[in-house]
Structure 1
């Protein structure tokens, strides 16, 4: 029940992070009406900055909160983080202007990485050392299931009753999460020996930086594609707006399957899992760019983009825990900082090529390049591991 409560928080995070993509044209039309009337593509690209703002909030909030609150009892910290989610999503739903909503999305994201980091540590401790990646995967499973159920439903709700209703739904989900954590999650102390200096020592380790770079660069390919999936469905594939939630369901099913397969595979070999994930991510994004003009190509490629997106997080999370040594709290949170740098980078670069007139499929080819760079980073990281093992023999 404790893990279910933690996964419910992941479910809420998944909805609030990803529902924006499906509602991007609706938000642009409402908050940027003059720009939308003159150039819908440019307005959609501008609305994509809401995705970047959320991602930057994760990047800043995750290490800051994790380092400052490492000594806090973990249940108390989880409750505080979920309370911020409730307030942030209520503000996203009611503030009147694009600039204010942009600020609310940034604020809503501050607890994102710290929540997943602390929840993953709690889940790993409940599951035991030989099943820690599966414990992480269970918590992240809430996020992936959100893409099967919550994001499509939130998108439908937003298209039907206005985009603000989607964020009200998220606020309700987090209120329920708050109650569930209070009732079901057992007491877990913080680390009484943790200091800001010890936690920040993670940043002195080259392998931590390389693992963060893998997530930041390689994972950017996912969001170069996913941020602009709604206009691809309507303007490129030529399907109606009502088909967008179903494409999101397909993405979510892929994420859910990829997440749990990755948890199993990562418990057996972290390195093998990382290689499979980054190569598969690049190939699936390439397939999207080449085939999304057709209905079958769109659905199949979106499924595989989702599958490899879901499989990346448990593997990168576990790798960070391995290479951070005694800075576990900040390392667990940094996973989501790195992935959301990728989120922000992909959305930003995708918006640039769309605004430049290259079309809604052009971000996919940006994503291929990002995945290729991620593979280079991973290769360097493994080469350093091999050299260090050789030196200790």
Structure 2
């Protein structure tokens, strides 16, 4: 494995812990900052807002930087903005630091995906991208549980010390191991934004925000599903989430291999079809603890297997605007995060049981399939025109 890809993966680990650990720390932060848990939950929204704004903005501002310099700047932002959370004197300061720490998220993955594909051996571009995203999956498997444990048993600020250290290591290893790739000439803003006039761009964004949102309709309410339907104790949930994280690691690498072997668009279509089938199984069989564990692993695996193929699809579609398009895709993932959690909660608010968000997830994944079908038809028409 190339050292440069390991450096990108470490950045993914830093981002993954930053994004997801806050969910497990909400009670500790709420108590320390003297706010309610719902108010503390706005810290999650602040981060997501930072991702959506920062992804295209930072890539546009840094469009004429060499890739290595851009990645170093983004790694430094990750480190400094997360370090601000360590010293946050009040809730408003912490809210601002969470927003700032979200800014480099999408841009790092967007630039990193393009760089990974350029560093890859021919025919293994998607696998190289999956190595970068492996850091994100490892964050869910290892980093988030460790960060949550530190926050619960010591002080939640120490978790952000851990994140700042991984951010600093990311900066160091990119500096040492990343080759000085040449920039793709001077690119003006008009050229970058021209891609978004294409229907294909918005179809891919729709697939990501809606289809991948099916994952978040499931995972946002996995704890009450496991406790109230499957019959697990609250103490079991953290261990079961590690099983989901393991599935994400396996699915991420599997998706990379599939996207290199087959065309990305049909691969995305097939994986979304599997997600629909899997969420049906979760809906019908969550009452059985053994089957619930199996489908927890499978849902994590299937959902994260979509990432590398759709990232590769976006890069292929976005000639001369790969970085901003790739970064916009990362913003779309976070829109899917928010959309899946919100829409998945509607049947619960209406009084339905904790399996009902999976029906929403099925609908979102199925809608993603329809959009993917439309994209494939459009690609075929352009090939024969």
CA deviation string 1:115-172 (max 9, x = no partner): 0111122222221342111111111111112222112222222332344433332122
Q: 1:384 to 1:213 in 2, by over 3 A?
A: same
Separation (CA, whole Å) in 2 of partners of 1:253 and 1:117: 24
Q: 1:323 to 1:268 in 2, by over 3 A?
A: same
Corresponding residue SS for 2:147: helix
2:254 equivalent in structure 1:
261
- TM-score, normalised to structure 1, is 0.88
**Size of the alignment, in residue pairs?**
382
- TM-score, normalised to structure 2, is 0.90
Matched, 1:81 2:74: yes
Separation (CA, whole Å) in 1 of partners of 2:159 and 2:359: 31
Deviation for aligned residue 1:68: 2.0
Which of 214, 232, 239 aligns to 1:246? It is 239
Check the 8 A contact 1:7/1:139 in 2, yes or no.
Answer: yes
Provide structure 2 residue ranges, at least 5 long, that are not aligned to the other structure.
none
Q: 1:223 to 1:254 in 2, by over 3 A?
A: same
Q: 1:276 to 1:176 in 2, by over 3 A?
A: same
Deviation for aligned residue 1:271: 2.4
Matched, 1:282 2:276: yes
Matched, 1:191 2:189: no
Separation (CA, whole Å) in 2 of partners of 1:307 and 1:32: 38
1:374 equivalent in structure 2:
368
The alignment yields a C-alpha RMSD, in angstroms, of 2.4
Deviation for aligned residue 1:361: 3.9
Deviates more, 1:353-362 or 1:250-259: 353-362
Which of 212, 228, 241 aligns to 1:219? It is 212
CA deviation string 1:33-56 (max 9, x = no partner): 5x56xxxxxx4xx65544333223
Matched, 1:306 2:300: yes
Separation (CA, whole Å) in 1 of partners of 2:40 and 2:232: 21
Provide structure 1 residue ranges, at least 5 long, that are not aligned to the other structure.
37-42
Separation (CA, whole Å) in 1 of partners of 2:160 and 2:288: 32
Matched, 1:91 2:84: yes
Check the 8 A contact 1:48/1:348 in 2, yes or no.
Answer: no
Check the 8 A contact 2:216/2:337 in 1, yes or no.
Answer: yes
Matched, 1:71 2:37: no
Q: 1:232 to 1:87 in 2, by over 3 A?
A: farther
After superposition, residues 5-154 of structure 1 pair within 5 angstroms as: 5-24=7-26, 26-27=28-29, 43=38, 48-95=41-88, 97-154=90-147
1:341 equivalent in structure 2:
335
Deviation for aligned residue 1:266: 0.4
CA deviation string 1:317-353 (max 9, x = no partner): 1111111112111122122111111012112323444
CA deviation string 1:200-257 (max 9, x = no partner): 1110111111001100111111112223334444555454444333222111111111
Separation (CA, whole Å) in 2 of partners of 1:19 and 1:97: 19
Separation (CA, whole Å) in 1 of partners of 2:358 and 2:284: 9
Deviation for aligned residue 1:278: 1.0
Separation (CA, whole Å) in 2 of partners of 1:226 and 1:51: 15
Deviation for aligned residue 1:185: 1.2
Separation (CA, whole Å) in 2 of partners of 1:29 and 1:48: 13
Q: 1:227 to 1:192 in 2, by over 3 A?
A: same
Q: 1:26 to 1:105 in 2, by over 3 A?
A: same
Separation (CA, whole Å) in 1 of partners of 2:130 and 2:238: 24
